[in-house]
Structure 1
């Protein structure tokens, strides 16, 4: 059986889809997948052993000037139509993913208009699947695949299915090391710098080297500032998603805020703590055997706002993080690394 998966972005959402592929692989012998994904995330599907072909698209770039890139868009559509499939599953439920799904050759499956985020997307599917909202994103995708392909979601099995043999330890980093994922998109998701400073002190005192990745100049500046606290704290070179997967998989432990790289860490099965303040771990939190999600305990958390609006006296900003100080985070990570 050959299935085309359409899940273009973002990094965390792409990773959320991997357990569904593992479920299907377990239930249907010989199944294989092709995957349509944003080019910046194409390394992730390739890490699953049952993904045969990755079809990269560049929606984030194309939407800035559709006419300028129309030749590229047509070429990507031709790539999608290069094979015929037993099933085409839109695992995203957005108009942009439905656009690609509509062009694919095969029976088209996707969330019903009451189940997906953008109801118009359901018009692209021949088979519309009802999946209850209010569940974790990973659970919803697993149910979508199970209902589309005709099996039951396994109750005692959960695996991202990463092919660890394909990820070498060639980073050259000095073990034992921890990775601190300090970067994220919203201002309100940022754990206070003073807490990162304390965490670095706690970790280096126990003999760990600390590595700090970054994805833009703002994050690079913060990483540089944090690295100056200790001769055992280092700023990583700018790395690809595949390189970061290698680094995360071989780390002793990871601490991160709500970000795609935190989800990648969970998929790598590395001991890790993910910190949630303005966002909630209930529906999109990191999930894994060696992963712990720490949610702030504060009156207005999770507020789901990009900027903290708390205007009362507080010891840190954003205010909710005062309920998740560095020593508590460190304690949870140590317990996972045992």
Structure 2
């Protein structure tokens, strides 16, 4: 019997795409001869380049009606047997539907990000696990995948690695750690001024005396990176613009990374880089680093787990002190018990 043609729908964003990789790997292990394609926003497609679990990466720009129509035509020509929507939005569920797959698997209304999206599925899964990686694996299991090792097959682009090495060399940086102060919504971020103070405290540690910091800032976040640099003072962390392939290359070479709940944090975990995560309104049991070795700093009260997309720093994030984070870095690197 021929193995199925499978369409993966996970359009965005960085951390969510990373969290879907183990589920797709499980599907490939279960269906080694299947044709597995991934529908993703063009911005995030470089993260999937060279992925051995995929036959094709189908790029889409959901902000362009013309591109959506052209992409749907391409999808329908592929004649998929199965579509698995890991996103749970109206737009992702509708794309799975119009792609033409007879079987469509997604989260049940209570677990989908937009409850009504579930109406477009032929099979709805109510996840029992807490972490999103494990929830995605439950969707894959509904499609026939079996339990196995959790794998994040991210391929680093050689040209991106070269560009990062050149940038680091131009700044006189060899060993380094990464501070990533962004996070999409301000309410789950930690202030730039505290990252600057954290930098001063970290480079004063004897074990990190030969390290320099690199600030990661996404599109439109240059002001944030510069604020960290100003707060750090003279000989502060360096910053240079990064596209997604360069970000992966930079993070892969870091000694460790400090960040709030963000895409770069989850990328670092997937690449095996030590992480200290700063958490407030989001629950680390669901969205935390998917590694038992990594450390989460959190002081939020139960009622502060709100997932509220605020424009201001939340009280839960402001409760985290620089001393808390320095101690967590020391524990993660084995510098203290």
- 2:113 matched to 1:117? yes
Deviations 1:256-306 (A, max 9, x none): 111112111111111111110222111122213653333225575434332
CA drift at 1:98? 1.3
Match of 2:146 in 1: 152
Residue pairs, 1:204-283, within 5 angstroms: 204-205=203-204, 206-217=209-220, 219-228=221-230, 229-231=233-235, 233-237=237-241, 239-283=242-286
TM-score scaled by length of structure 2: 0.83
Task: Report the Cα distance in structure 1 between the residues aligned to 2:322 and 2:201, rounded to whole angstroms.
Answer: 18
CA separation of 1:164 and 1:224: change in aligned 2, threshold 3 A: closer
Whether contact under 8 Å (2:175, 2:211) holds in the other structure is: yes
Q: Is the 8 A contact 2:279 2:298 kept in 1?
A: yes
How far apart are the structure 2 equivalents of 1:32 and 1:293?
38
Distance 1:329 1:11, change over 3 A: same
Farther-moved stretch of structure 1 (189-198 vs 171-180):
189-198
Distance in 1 of aligned mates of 2:253 and 2:213: 13
Equivalences for residues 181-220 of structure 1 within 5 A: 181-205=180-204, 206-217=209-220, 219-220=221-222
Distance in 2, Cα, partners of 1:270 & 1:103: 39
Query: Do the aligned residues in 1 keep the contact of 2:213 with 2:238 (CA within 8 Å)?
Result: yes
Q: For residue 321 of structure 1, report the CA deviation from its aligned partner.
A: 1.6
The 3-state SS of whatever aligns with 1:234 is coil
Kindly indicate whether residue 92 of structure 2 is the aligned counterpart of residue 93 of structure 1: no
The corresponding residue for 1:288 is 291
Report the alpha carbon displacement of residue 36 of structure 1 after superposing the two structures with TM. 0.7
Give the deviation of 1:133 after TM superposition. Answer: 5.4
Gaps of 5+ in 2: none
2:76, 2:202 → 1: CA distance?
51
CA distance in 1, matches of 2:287, 2:218: 22
- Separation in 2, partners of 1:76, 1:255: 38
Query: Contact 1:31–1:50 (CA<8 Å) still a contact in 2?
Result: no
Structure-2 change in CA distance of 1:285 and 1:198 (3 Å): same
Find the counterpart in structure 1 of residue 70 from structure 2.
Answer: 75
1:141 aligns to 2:141 (yes or no) = no
Distance in 1 (alpha carbons) for counterparts of 2:321 and 2:303: 13
State the TM-score, normalized to the length of structure 1: 0.83
Aligned residue pairs, count: 317
Q: Deviations over 1:42-71 (max 9, x none)?
A: 112225222221111222xx2xxxxxx432
Deviation string for 1:169-190 (max 9, x for gaps)? 3112232111110112222222
Cα contact 2:281–2:300 (8 A) shared by 1: no
For the residue of structure 1 that corresponds to 2:161, the secondary structure is coil
Aligned to 1:179: 178
- CA RMSD of the aligned region, Å? 2.7
Do the aligned residues in 2 keep the contact of 1:34 with 1:53 (CA within 8 Å)? yes
From 43, 46, 51, give the equivalent of 1:48: 51
Query: Structure 2: how far apart are the matches of 1:322 and 1:16?
Result: 29
Secondary structure of the residue that 1:224 maps to in structure 2?
helix
